[in-house]
Amino acid sequence: MKQSKILNIFLLGLSGAGKGSQALLLKSKFSLELINTGDLLRAIAENKTVFGQKLSAALKKGHLAPNWLTNYLWLNKLLYIPLNKGVILEGSPRSLEQATLLTEVFNWLGRTNYRAIYLKVSEKEVTKRLLARRICTNCGKIVSLELNPTLKKCPYCGGKLKCRADDTPDAIKNRIAFFHKEVKPVISYFQKQKRLIEINGEGTMEEVHYRILASLKSIK
Ligand SMILES: [Zn+2]
């Protein structure tokens, strides 16, 4: 396949909009390399270094990592991915500054076929989803208590479940406010470039996945 035809995706949406599960489905559907800046940050925050602890304290308050750090993390991964592989980015860009840098790098690399997919989910729905979200301390899988509120152990491995440090009501509110201030301009930016695909993110994981596939098909 010609490099300019290889699909690259930026997934946008509020936290709790289902970016994680849709990213995994798209990754396997199109054999994409996944870059998840949130996971990269959380891995650093678990380090017992001064840097890790400082980042951990900031994330717990619902603060975001500085632009230079997220930029460094995705760049450091992106630049080593073979150009015959498409990339899916989850968690970036989260500011207009990042979006500009990102498109500059993608264009420079010749990854010119990129789309921003915006998973649109109401604030009420994401808050409900995030408060019911648990992460397995053993296998790292994310499970939801929405259908099974009394779940105590990971259904995949039996591991202990915990809340993600930033899934508290206050931190969720902060992230929603941040989204309006910083990510909405990113959405307009891609819309102006005619590279935005807006998807209704409510419903089951499969329903949303098929909506995305249908939209991608219609633009080719
Ligand atoms: Zn588990």
Going from the Cα of 193 to the center of ligand 1, the distance in angstroms, rounded, reads 41
- Can you read off the two tokens belonging to residue 162? 């915990």
What dotted CATH number matches 3-121+169-219? Answer: 3.40.50.300
Q: What is the pLDDT of residues 95-141, one digit of tens each?
A: 999 999 999 999 999 999 999 999 999 999 999 999 999 999 999 88
Going from the Cα of 6 to the center of ligand 1, the distance in angstroms, rounded, reads 34
Going from the Cα of 28 to the center of ligand 1, the distance in angstroms, rounded, reads 21
Going from the Cα of 134 to the center of ligand 1, the distance in angstroms, rounded, reads 10
Going from the Cα of 128 to the center of ligand 1, the distance in angstroms, rounded, reads 22
- Is the pLDDT confidence value at 61 over 90? no
- Is the pLDDT confidence value at 220 over 90? no
- Can you read off the two tokens belonging to residue 133? 């979200």
Going from the Cα of 150 to the center of ligand 1, the distance in angstroms, rounded, reads 16
Going from the Cα of 25 to the center of ligand 1, the distance in angstroms, rounded, reads 19
One-letter amino acid of 168: T
Q: Is the pTM of this model over 0.95?
A: no
CB-CB neighbours of 178 under 10 Å: 17
**Mean pLDDT for the stretch of residues 90-97:** 89
- CB of 45 within 8 A of CB of 56? yes
Helix axes 67-78, 96-109, angle to 10 degrees: 20
Going from the Cα of 162 to the center of ligand 1, the distance in angstroms, rounded, reads 11
One-letter amino acid of 112: T
Going from the Cα of 153 to the center of ligand 1, the distance in angstroms, rounded, reads 8
Going from the Cα of 41 to the center of ligand 1, the distance in angstroms, rounded, reads 21
CA distance 143 to 158: 12
C-alpha distances (whole Å) from 69 to each of 38, 94, 98, 203 are 11, 12, 11, 34
Q: What is the pLDDT of residue 27?
A: 97
- CB of 89 within 8 A of CB of 10? yes
CA distance 125 to 201: 10
Q: What is the pLDDT of residues 130-175, one digit of tens each?
A: 999 999 999 988 888 988 888 989 999 999 999 987 788 988 898 8
Residues having C-beta closer than 5 Å to ion ligand 1: 136, 138-139, 154, 156-157, 159
**What average pLDDT does the chain have?**
92
Domains of the chain, residue spans = 3-121+169-219
CA distance 67 to 74: 11
